[in-house]
Amino acid sequence: MAEIGTDMMKAQALLEAGELVAIPTETVYGLAGNALDANAVARIFEAKNRPHFDPLIVHIPNAAAAAQYALPLTPQTRRLADAFWPGPLTLLLPRKPMIPDLVTAGLDTVGLRCPRHPLTLQLLKNLSFPLAAPSANPFGYVSPTTATHVNAQLGDKIAYILDGGPCTVGLESTIVGMADHAPTLYRLGGLSQETIETITGPVTVSLNTSSNPKAPGQLKSHYAPTKRIVTGSLPALLQEYKHLAIAVLSFTHNYKMPHQFVLAPTGSMAEAAQNLFTALRYLDTLPVDMILAELAPEEGLGRAINDRLRRAAAQ
Ligand code: TXA
Ligand code: MG
């Protein structure tokens, strides 16, 4: 198991020595290494058992740093960065050659993000390099939103886990790129489509599900617990699967089942998002045959929550 602590200087020293450190962000915990050091980046892929065709997001301390690693922001990307950084937004930008090929999986864009977490922002400011950081989970499993989640699965593969408390957003960043100068959303996430559209106007949504996706976070089956999940209307599903041992994931309604998780007792989608991955991990540990999950209204963060639930349910 890895050491868990709040010692930013220790995290900094390890990263400067080419080691991997798990870092807190507002979305999910990241498995971080020096983005400019191909050896450190290779170790990230190895620790996660992640295929090399899946590029990594590079974390920077502020929007000004973007120009070091990518071509200058355009008026449109500048407005997005100004509005949402630090925050749960990743911008795909034409990359500069100093970013190792391994980071971008050979693509000509690099995903940049300035995370909104005080510890990690300070760490990024102190370091002389940006941090490549995928979510700190084995490839294909549910992302971690606490230091304990990270330790449970990757604890033996990393030097240190910087504990910044539970993630406040709980869903990965929303990924936005410019396809032919039109803002395009490649992954739904912690920043809602509607909020982005207040800055950009209508966006194109391009969530790949093929076996050779542009963003493998968009693989049909991803973010998945080990147990089988079925999504739909809970009263109907409870009837259909009444002969099995089941666990229930609901938004506000308490089904008074022995095995259940109510995501947002107050009805807030932000609260549901924050709890989602903890809920999936918890339900995955229960002595049940399967998990029945209800979907959120298709708006705001509900869209991203449903995206994760559907991918978790895909076989
Ligand atoms: O919230 C987040 O984004 C978290 C925290 C740690 O920052 N990170 C995260 O990383 O979710 P990861 O590696 O689990 O997901 C990154 C996604 C992948 O689906 C990857 O394919 C996509 O971003 N991606 C990264 N760079 C890309 C690029 N240049 N073009 C297209 N997709 C890219
Ligand atoms: Mg991930």
Task: Give the C-alpha separation, 12 to 164, whole Å.
Answer: 15
Confidence of residue 214 (pLDDT cuts 50, 70, 90): low
- Is the predicted pLDDT of residue 279 greater than 90, yes or no? yes
Instruction: Provide CB contacts within 8 A for 37, sequence distance 6+.
Output: 18, 100, 129
Mean pLDDT to the nearest integer, 77-84: 98
Q: How many Å from the N-terminal Cα to the C-terminal Cα in the chain?
A: 30
Task: Residue 107: count other Cβ atoms within 10 Å of its Cβ.
Answer: 15
For residue 107, which atom of ligand 1 is closest to its CA? 29
Is the per-residue pLDDT at 221 higher than 90? no
What pLDDT, in 10s, does the model give residues 93-104?
999 999 999 999
- 294 contacts 250 by C-beta, under 8 angstroms: yes
Please state whether beta strands 204-205 and 182-187 pair in parallel, antiparallel, or not at all (unpaired): parallel
Q: pTM for this one?
A: 0.96
- Ligand 1 contact, 111 CB (< 6 A): yes
Q: Ligand 1 centroid to 128 CA: how many Å?
A: 22
Instruction: Give start and end residues of each alpha helix (H) in the chain.
Output: 8-16, 38-48, 66-69, 75-84, 101-104, 118-126, 147-154, 193-200, 234-240, 269-284, 301-313
Average pLDDT of every residue of the chain: 94
> What is the number of the ligand 1 atom nearest to the C-alpha of 218?
19
Q: Determine whether the shortest distance from the Cβ of 184 to ligand 1 is under 6 A.
A: no
Range in 142-156, 218-232, 276-290 with the lowest mean pLDDT: 218-232
Residue 38 to residue 82: CA distance in whole angstroms:
30
Dist CA 169 CA 26 (whole Å):
5
Taking the centre of ligand 2 as the mean of its atom positions, its distance from the CA of residue 123, in whole angstroms, is 21
Distance 48 CA to ligand 2 centre (A): 9
Contact status, residue 132 vs residue 44, Cβ threshold 8 Å = yes
Average pLDDT on 174-184 reads 94
